[in-house]
Structure formats: structure tokens, C-alpha cells
Amino acid sequence: MSTLSQRRSLSKAGARAIDARIAEANAAIAAQKAEVAAAHRANQAAKYAPVAFTEAELQAARLIRKGRSWFTVVRVNVKSVTVEDFGRFTMLVPRDKVLEVRS
């Protein structure tokens, strides 16, 4: 039969082993989440990467996409595109921020 101090010692050792396993599992989960987040960031960067358009494509464009929004083209300038924002305001969009064009 074991004494009270021996039982407490065994209990503490078991608790330390369980805590170590939990820490390992948490580290594995954190690594997996970091990997998923890195893949998501790479996907978003590819999705929103600017594309070089020719002058003819921009002149023929009726709509352009900047970010997640589409805008009506008013005028194509040398360094930017003037667009209509929801039919009320005009704003300048730099050519390197244009993601997609539609004619």
C-alpha cells in the first residue's frame, strides 16, 4: 500500500504528463491554423493582384473592378481611370489598382 505522499506524487506526475500532451496538441493546432492562414493570404494576394491592361482594353472598357467593387468608366487618363461611384460621385483610380475590365 502506498502512502499519501506517494499518491500525491503520482497524481502530480500524471497531471504533468497530461499537461504536456495538451501543450503538444495546442502547438499542432496552432501550426495548422498558421498554415491555413498563410494559404488564405496567398490566395487573396493572387485574387487581388493588379493586372497590366493595354491602352486599347482600357479605352474600350465600360466597367472596371477595384477591390471587390465594380465602377462605371467615365474617362481613361494617362496614369489613372476616372470612374463613377454609384452614379453620384467621380473618383480617380490609379491604373495599377485596376484588377479587371469589362467592355
SS3 state at 10 = helix
- DSSP string for 4-61: HHHHHHHHHHHHHHHHHHHHHHHHHHHHHHHHHHHHHHHHHHHHT------HHHHHH-
Identify the pLDDT of residue 52: 80
SS3 state at 98 = coil
Identify the pLDDT of residue 72: 93
Each domain of the chain, given as residue ranges in start order, spans 1-47, 55-102
What pLDDT, in 10s, does the model give residues 31-75? 999 999 999 999 988 887 777 888 899 999 999 998 888 999 999
CA distance 29 to 50: 34
Identify the pLDDT of residue 48: 78
What's the fold here for domain 55-102?
A: SH3 type barrels. (2.30.30)
Proportion of the chain above pLDDT 70, given as a percent = 99
